Amino acid sequence: MTSTLSDYSKLCVHTFTTKPWNLKQCVEYYSRAGIQAITIWRNVLENIELKDAKAILDDYGMITVSIARGGFFPSTEEKLRLEAIDDNKLAIDQAAAVGAPSLVLVCGADGRQSLETSRDQIKEAIIKLLPHAKASGVKLAIEPLHPMYAGDRSAINTLAQANDMAEEINSDYVGIAVDVYHLWWDPNLEQEIKRCGRNGNLLAFHVCDWNVPTIDFLNDRGLMGDGCINIPRIRGWVEDAGFTGFNEVEVFSTKYWATDQKDYLELIKNAYLKYT
């Protein structure tokens, strides 16, 4: 059964949701708006020292839920696969430095090879990263992506596949990020969320909405309530599966980015209580 969201204590916003803002602006304005949790995209860490980023987060008592994003492991070229491992080690270091307990993985795909080969390479890469993740205290969250990204962004396109992989790897440092945008259409979603929770792999829950029609593959996500996803129902399944973490608002939207971001934050808060 779906609980009622009556306050913002479980609301987390992704910095990419308010893409025009830098990290300091995100932290300051989220905090002023009564939002206490953040997921940090790596682009906002590019022009700031990690210790300064940590200081800003601490100044505002902001809870860092996750770093987004690592991954992009598969390639037909070994050199690129090795570079991806190094980049993910760096992402783990960034997560540890700002106190984020987990790193979201957009696992990647390479259209020049089969999805099976890409998945094998993903699994191999995650296993290689495990010692570093463990030593850093950072969990890796596999995020299954919508099948429309199977050509380039992720060879893991259903929660069943993510569950399979997490269970095969079987580590306390590997779990799954469930995102309604990627998974809402899946007829097996309820049972796979149950399975994910039962096996202790449910690390994160991301929300936004699917616009009808959607006009852009990447940056036409809707705010909760804009589209056709029954988000409360899916949140109910996630909570029934034992999840007690944050509801992370992750909206890529050219439309909303063009608006005043402080006003937008109020829309997000409203949509969070009404449609999440």
Binding site for a second copy (CB under 8 A): 111-112, 114-115, 146-148, 150-152, 157-158, 160-161, 184-187, 210-215, 217, 227-228, 230
How do strand 209-210 and strand 221-222 relate by DSSP bridges? Answer: antiparallel
Least distance to a second copy, CB of residue 263, Å: 26
Q: What kind and span of H or E run contains 79?
A: helix 78-98
Residue (127 or 185) nearer to a second copy, CB: 185
Least distance to a second copy, CB of residue 76, Å: 12
Least distance to a second copy, CB of residue 230, Å: 6
Residue (148 or 258) nearer to a second copy, CB: 148
Least distance to a second copy, CB of residue 182, Å: 9
Residue (51 or 112) nearer to a second copy, CB: 112
Q: Which letter does DSSP use for residue 253 in this model? A: B
Residue (184 or 205) nearer to a second copy, CB: 184
Residue (20 or 111) nearer to a second copy, CB: 111
- For residue 213, say if its preceding peptide bond is cis, omega within 30 degrees of 0: yes
- Strands (E) in 93-246, as ranges, are 102-106, 139-142, 174-179, 202-207, 209-210, 221-222
Exposure on the CB side of residue 50, measured as CA atoms within 13 A: 14
From residue 48, alpha-carbon distances to 15, 51, 55, 143 in Å are 15, 8, 11, 27
